[in-house]
Every structure is written in C-alpha cells, then in structure tokens.
Chain A
Amino acid sequence: MSNYEIKEHDVLVIGAGGAGLRAAIEAAGKGISVGLVCKSLLGKAHTVMAEGGVAASLGTVDSRDGWQTHFRDTMIGGKYLNNYRMAELHAKEAAECVYELEKWGAVFDRTHDGKILQRAFGGHTYKRLCHVGDRTGLEMIRTLQDKGVHSGIDVYMECTISKLLKDGDKVSGAFGYFREDGRYILFRAKAIVLATGGTGRAFEVTSNSWEYTADGQALAYDAGADLIDMEFVQFHPTGMVWPPGVRGILVTEAVRGEGGRLTNKDGERFMWKYLPDALRGDYAADINEANAWVNDTLSGKLKTDYRRPPELSTRDNVARAIYTEVKEGRGSEHGGVYLDISYQPADRVKKKLPSMYHQFKDLADVDITKGPMEVGPTMHYTMGGIRVEADTQMSKVPGLFAAGECSGGMHGANRLGGNSLSDLIVFGRRAGRGAAAYASNISEMPKISDAEIKEAIDELEAPFKREKGHNPYKLQKDMYAITGSCFGIFRVEADLKKGLDMMEELNERIKQVGCGGGKNYNPGWHLARDLRNLSIAAEAIGRSALSRKESRGAHSRLDFPDTDEDQGHENTSVWKDGDKMQLAKTPLPVMPAELKELLKKKEVSHA
C-alpha cells in the first residue's frame, strides 16, 4: 500500500470558504485542535466571487426592518419549503454575525451617518444587503482568512479530500491527496465539518468555479447522510452571454438593485408581464413609479415610499421571464436580453458597480456606462444539499456536520440573493460550535480501518491503470449535454427520464475514466475523481426533479405548471443504499404558531 502521512485534529473542517473559515474560527476558539483543508489556495474559494452583499436586518438604512421581516422574506422566497428553524436562526443571528466581521476588520460601505450601508435586493422587503461595492465576498473571505490565520488553525491548502472514514456509524477521519505532488494524507478527527460548496460544474453554463464538483455532497452521501431538495437548482437570471468564452459569468443582481432595467429586443420592459399576481402589489405600478424609486435611491434617500421596479422580482421568476422572452423570439442579438444601467451618471455606475464595469470592459468590450449589457440565465446556486439538524448542523451521521452551500434546508425552493453569505457566517459559526461540542464529549480518537484506507487509495489510483480509459474532460462535456438539455431551467417528465437513463450510461463510462501523466499537479487526474461526485449530484438532481410533480420556486415543471399545496409539506430526500440511490418524501418540520403568525403579516416593500 502507498504511503500516507497522518494528522490528528479534534475537529477537521473541509472547505475554506466563508462557511468553513467561520466554522474553523469558532471551533478553534473553544481551545481544541482544528484542521482546515481546501482544494485551492486559501482565500480563493468561491466566496471570494460573491458580489452583491450579505443580507442581515441591521436596520441601519430602514429602521422598519427586523429579523421577523427577514424571516418572512426568506420563507416566501423559499416557497415555504425551508427548514423553518434554520430560517429563523438565520434571520435572528445574521446581524450579529455581520457586526462580528466588522470587529475582525471588514470595512463595509457606509451610510451618511457612518453606519453599515445596506442595498436593495430581490425578495428583500427592506434595504438589507450590507456590501462593499460589488466585491462583498472578497471582503468577507479576506476578513475571515486574516482572522483564521491568527486563530491557531492548521491549514492544509491544495489538498483534496476524496473519502470520509467511519468507525461503526460514527465519522472517524478523512482521506485525501495534495494536488502539488499527489502525496496522500490521512486525517484522524473526532468531528468533521463539510463546507465544500455547490454543484455548479455539473452544468456547462454556470457562474461557478471548477471547485464546485459536489464533493461534500458526495462525501456525505457515501458516508450515509441524506441529501435533500436536490431538485432546487438556482439559475441566476443574469449571466453574461457573449462572447462565448465568458458565457455564464455572473452579472450581479446589484445592477438591478441599483436600478438596472431589463428590456427585450423591442425595447419592452417585460418584467411587468411576469410578476405573479399575488405579489404584483409589491412592485411599482408603472414606469413612472419605478423611475421615482430609482431617483430616490440615486439621491441617497434612505427610505422611499415608492415601490420597487419589477426587475427586483425573485431570481426564479426573473430567470424564467428571460428564458421565455428569448424562447419566444424577443431575445437580444446573442440570445439573451438587455440589462441597462447606462442611463445613470457614469461616475455613479463606476463607483457602485466597479467590478461589473471592468468585467464588461475587459471581457466583452462593452462599456456599461454607455450601453446595455446582454444577459441570460446561468446555473448559480444549489439550494439542496446535506440534511442537517438546524441548531448544530449535524447530519444523520454522528460527528459529521455541514454548513454553507453544501448543506440543505435553509433556502427551501429558492434562495434570496444575499442570503448565502449570511447563511455561511450564521451556520458556519453554529457548525463550528456543534462540532467542537461533539468532539469535546469524545475522549478517544475514533478508530480507522485499514480496509477503508486501502479502498480510498485504490479508488484514487485506478484512473492511472486504465491507459485507454476515457478522457475526463470529454466525460464532463457529455454530462453537460445531459444536464443542460434534461435537468435545466424548465423540466418535463420525458426529458428527466431520458436524462436519468443517459446518466446511467455515462456512469458506466465514468467508471472507466483514465488519465495519463504523473501524480504531480495533474488536473486530468483530479477531474477523474471529481466526475464521480458530479455524477452523484446530477443523478440526485434528476431523480428529485422527477419526483416533484409540481412547480415551486426554482423547480419548474412544464407538465405540472402549478404549485401543489400538498407537496409543499415535504422534502425530497435521497440516500445511498448499496449501489443504488433511494428516494423518499419526508415531512417538513412543523412550524410553531408564533412563527406562522409572522408569515401572515403583510408589509409592502419599500426597499
């Protein structure tokens, strides 16, 4: 058997984005030994890309805001499929977690009176997104990184975990390799926190980075945890569509938050057509009112009595609207629609949206202060994920915790913008605390089985032994064809079934994936392993989507266009049973009466 080094920690955190870093800081604060592993260099995780802001009801801009409204917005956005307890904790704790970042050195944009400035975002009743221009994620990850390196955490960079190990039913460690030279490492740990992010790389058009290969979901699935709500994949309405090389790159919702207008090729502001009747009253009645809202925002007025423009409808709705406009022949030159902010003063646009300005200028030769952008939907966020217990973030597997995008439940059927960054700090902190408490109750390191280690090594080495094996990049492309055409923004039974059949066939080929070269920094080898994780996610998405015979939030079935009250009381959950993926519907936790009461209250949006 190949050699491997061994490290021991009370708590091992896998993933160094916002959630993982926050969890590691929390656990280390309890005076125990903490290891933090990430596939990339520290500070490069997906969180760095987040733009628009972090949602928290500080009420610095609009004092009417409070956790109750944030809770309600989150539940309405999630079409009531959220784990109510997670939504409650999130709404209650987000503000203190944002202030905590400030204490650790984050420098958010300010209001006139020197407090943290908040901006409007889709689905949030009041101006609620704390931000730093359009690089909020960078601010957050750098703050946590700087805090983390002074918290006594051992960081293992460019180290990929490929397998979780168990002692009986409990988690006992993790096995992986360093990208640099392919050497192996065994981590022994009493508790493990997964914070590995999403599944975007299962789709071709995505705003997500190469790291989003569903590793955490697959690791947990293999270890016996449930994945819930995997049918809910968020397609962000505004990704770049042109030129081809940049297709999918995100155009932040902040463009619309700052007053960006969506039009089709005929110049029509089409979003009014797509507002759900029940929510129509929350939006400006016409162009005049929308303009008045923008003018108030531009003049720096903190509160406005006008209602927001229809462009600030929830993401699922805007994405479907754009898709439909394009499909019905009213799209822009390159198959998107137009998003325009150029009617505002150029200086303001550059100040408020600097990275968008540069992104379009550098990558598409478009000056967004002079003309419109072309945008279309892009796969953006994975609402589903590892099922966890709300207060501690522990999964079904004792000692295995999950936080951030790889966990499920918090966002229900659709995530509101800004609610992920807040999710990371609220539940990262809780997971760190939960894992530390769990580890502290265990006196001895759990046992590691040699057989499991051998299996982990054999799995990693197999691709080298198949000289004529399939090219991993080609297999990934084949997966894109399936997910794009069968598991995309609009779904229908026949396609979903076809997609699942094709996935079955693809899985057989993935088992025959090969790679050349050596173990030193070999991306082909890395992808060969990642493909397996992606295929688990893709299958879970397909199966879950097939089982939900209604449309709700981000899940749109052409054959079941309506929302079905009954299916709103159950989560879809999948788990591993031998070689097979099992699926069942499980009831949502029942919301206590006082929270139900909150949902009934009606507030008109003045964001």
Chain B
Amino acid sequence: MPEAYNAKLRVYRGDASGGTFKDYTVPVEEGMVVLDAIHYIQREVDPDLAVRWNCKAAKCGSCSAEVNGHPSLMCKTRMKGFSPDETITVQPIQSFPIIKDLVTDVSWNYEQNKRIQPFTPKKDTDWIMYQEDIERVQEFRKCIECFLCQNVCHVLRDNDRKDAFSGPRFMIRVASLEMHPLDDADRLEFLHKEGGIGYCNITKCCTEVCPESIHITDNGIIPMKERVVDEYYDPVAKFLKKVFSPKK
C-alpha cells in the first residue's frame, strides 16, 4: 500500500461574475477519487463548495469536470493517477455557462432533446426484435448524459454554434432512434437542418472522452452523415432508395 500523503488541489471557485482558483490540501486514502477529495474539502474546509454528483459510480453522468485539463467524471478519476507532488487542477466544463464553482448550466442540452421526434413505433408490429439487430442501438443508449462530448466538441466549445448544431450527444440520440428496428419516423431533415449534422467534421474528440466508450462518430455520426448526403445531395440515389428499399 502506498504511503499516505497530502495531495495539492487547485479548485475553481467562482460564479458568473468571475472567480479564481483556490488551493487546498487533502489527505489521500487508498482508492480515493477526485470526487472524494472535493467532498473532503466540503466537509472540512468550505461547506459551500458547489459540485454535482449522484451515484459516485460512473453511472449518472453528474460529476463532469476538467481535471488537469482532461474532461472527466470526477467519481471515476483516481487520485492514484497523479503523482504526489503534482498539483491537481479541477475546473468546471467549459462549454456551458458557469453557475458556481464546478457546477455549470447545462439546460441547453435538455432543450435539444425536446426537438427530436421521439420513438415512433411501426404500426401493427409484433415487437419481435433480435439481439443482433439492437446491439448498435443499445450501444447508443448507454449514454449517461455527462455532456463531456458536448464539452469538447469544437463546434460548441470554440465556435459556440449552439444555435446551429445539437452536438454529439444528440447526434447519437437521433442515431439510437433511427437505427431502432421498429421505429418508423424520419429524422433526416432534422439532422440536416436544425440538428446541423453538417457542422461535424469528424474530429472524433467526442468519442475520445466518452466514459461509456460509445463510438459516437464511427457508429453514429458517420453512417447518419452518409444517409443525409444520400437524401439531400444525391437526387438519383434518393430516388432509387425510395423506390427499391424500405426506409432502413
């Protein structure tokens, strides 16, 4: 077992009007994660330090933050991953407006979901679905809405085009519906227009940070981009598709 030591943390303290980093010293126990260190600070030093968390088991996607610049779930980030003399910097995710300390206003994301046509089952289906036909959909449905992918996507982060692009999280939300074997709706127009799939230039930064290891780009965005291209930029393919094949 490693020697007990005191870790150095720099945690962002502030709100919409501004703020600074504050230094804390936290005794490290074996197996501790960054969220434990934040809780230690709350308990022993600053009870009003704001942080979101629920499950502490990487299942709810509440505790997203940037730890030494890496978009992470704090409950999954082991203190062991840092050397004892390193200063661990913890700051809120950057693509959304800060509320206080480590808490940001992610309500924009909830607005996106409302714009997506929900699951619309085929009429008179017998509800038989085979496991091999739903594997992909189940992969997308693993999403815990941590919004880390939204945080790193340059369209939202650097270019701040929240007006034009729903972001990777909602691309795979659409994918989970479009690839559902019994869904009967068509969301291509949404993807093309409001959803703004064209803004994605496949940098795959989203996939890299996804704590659920969802292949956001390869399995979700790219196949949908292909379909959008077929539908909107290739009238011949579009015509043939309509005549010869069912929608999916």
Tell me the A455-507 residues at the B interface (CB within 8 Å).
471-474, 477
Tell me the B74-133 residues at the A interface (CB within 8 Å).
76, 78, 99-101, 103, 105-107, 110, 113-114, 118-119, 121, 127-131
Distance of A115 Cα from B128 Cα, bound (Å) = 6
Closest to A246 in B: B31
Per-residue CB proximity of A522-539 to B under 8 Å, as 1/0?
Answer: 111101000000000000
Distance of A347 Cα from B188 Cα, bound (Å) = 36
**B57 CB contact (under 8 Å) in A99, A244, A249, A524:** A249
Does B7 touch A at the CB level, under 8 Å?
no
Given contacts A110-B134, A473-B42, contact A355 B59 (CB under 8 A): yes
Given contacts A139-B141, A516-B47, contact A44 B42 (CB under 8 A): no
Does B226 touch A at the CB level, under 8 Å?
no
Distance of A355 Cα from B76 Cα, bound (Å) = 13
Question: In the complex, what residues of A have CB within 8 A of residue B43's CB?
Answer: 471, 473-474, 477
Most buried by B among A41, A99, A157, A525: A41
Stretch in B48-56, B150-158, B237-245 with 4+ CB within 8 Å of A = B48-56
Question: In the complex, what residues of B have CB within 8 A of residue A149's CB?
Answer: 110, 113-114
**B30 CB contact (under 8 Å) in A44, A157, A209, A243:** A243
Closest to B32 in A: A245
Does B230 touch A at the CB level, under 8 Å?
no
Question: In the complex, what residues of B have CB within 8 A of residue A362's CB?
Answer: 58, 76, 78
B131 touches A42 (CB 8 A): no
Given contacts A243-B29, A523-B50, contact A102 B56 (CB under 8 A): no
Given contacts A44-B61, A149-B114, A520-B15, contact A114 B31 (CB under 8 A): no
B59 touches A521 (CB 8 A): no
Tell me the B176-207 residues at the A interface (CB within 8 Å).
177, 180
Give chain B nearest CB distance to A319 CB in angstroms.
20
Does A581 touch B at the CB level, under 8 Å?
no
Give chain B nearest CB distance to A370 CB in angstroms.
19
Question: In the complex, what residues of B have CB within 8 A of residue A109's CB?
Answer: 131, 138
Give chain A nearest CB distance to B219 CB in angstroms.
15
Does A138 touch B at the CB level, under 8 Å?
yes
A107 touches B137 (CB 8 A): yes
Given contacts A146-B119, A243-B31, contact A515 B47 (CB under 8 A): yes
Distance of A106 Cα from B237 Cα, bound (Å) = 32
Distance of A40 Cα from B55 Cα, bound (Å) = 11
Question: In the complex, what residues of B have CB within 8 A of residue A364's CB?
Answer: 31
Question: In the complex, what residues of B have CB within 8 A of residue A585's CB?
Answer: none
Does A4 touch B at the CB level, under 8 Å?
no
Most buried by B among A102, A243, A244, A515: A243
Closest to A242 in B: B31
A107 touches B50 (CB 8 A): no
Does B36 touch A at the CB level, under 8 Å?
yes
Distance of A181 Cα from B15 Cα, bound (Å) = 11
Does B217 touch A at the CB level, under 8 Å?
no
**A363 CB contact (under 8 Å) in B31, B44, B52, B138:** B31
Give chain B nearest CB distance to A422 CB in angstroms.
19
**A523 CB contact (under 8 Å) in B32, B51, B78, B134:** B51
Given contacts A132-B138, A138-B144, contact A48 B60 (CB under 8 A): yes
Does B248 touch A at the CB level, under 8 Å?
no
**B101 CB contact (under 8 Å) in A102, A103, A521:** A521
What is the number of residues of chain A that contact chain B, defined by CB distance less than 8 Å? Answer: 66
Per-residue CB proximity of A108-119 to B under 8 Å, as 1/0?
Answer: 011001110000
Distance of A244 Cα from B1 Cα, bound (Å) = 13
Does A210 touch B at the CB level, under 8 Å?
yes
Tell me the B17-75 residues at the A interface (CB within 8 Å).
29-33, 36, 42-44, 46-62
Most buried by B among A105, A133, A250, A522: A105
B30 touches A244 (CB 8 A): yes
Closest to B132 in A: A110
Distance of A179 Cα from B177 Cα, bound (Å) = 33
Question: In the complex, what residues of A have CB within 8 A of residue B32's CB?
Answer: 243-245
Question: In the complex, what residues of A have CB within 8 A of residue B56's CB?
Answer: 209, 246, 249
Question: In the complex, what residues of B have CB within 8 A of residue A472's CB?
Answer: 47
**A40 CB contact (under 8 Å) in B15, B42, B52, B134:** B52
Distance of A21 Cα from B103 Cα, bound (Å) = 24
A138 touches B142 (CB 8 A): yes
Distance of A249 Cα from B128 Cα, bound (Å) = 35
Give chain B nearest CB distance to A294 CB in angstroms.
21
Given contacts A105-B180, A517-B47, A520-B99, contact A244 B110 (CB under 8 A): no
Question: In the complex, what residues of B have CB within 8 A of residue A516's CB?
Answer: 47-48
Give chain B nearest CB distance to A135 CB in angstroms.
7
Question: In the complex, what residues of B have CB within 8 A of residue A135's CB?
Answer: 59, 142
Does A518 touch B at the CB level, under 8 Å?
yes
Does A89 touch B at the CB level, under 8 Å?
no
Does B208 touch A at the CB level, under 8 Å?
no
Give chain B nearest CB distance to A66 CB in angstroms.
20
Does A49 touch B at the CB level, under 8 Å?
yes
Give chain B nearest CB distance to A43 CB in angstroms.
6
Q: A43-B60, A180-B99, A209-B53 are in contact. List 10 more A-B contacts (CB 8 A).
A: A105-B177, A107-B134, A107-B137, A114-B129, A142-B141, A242-B31, A243-B31, A249-B57, A358-B58, A522-B50
9 contacts between A and B (CB under 8 A): A48-B59, A105-B118, A132-B138, A146-B113, A181-B99, A245-B36, A359-B58, A516-B48, A527-B47
- Nearest 7 pairs of A and B residues by beta carbon: A243-B31, A524-B47, A517-B48, A105-B119, A114-B128, A521-B50, A473-B43
Interface residues of B (CB under 8 A from A): 15, 29-33, 36, 42-44, 46-62, 76, 78, 99-101, 103, 105-107, 110, 113-114, 118-119, 121, 127-131, 134, 137-138, 141-145, 177, 180
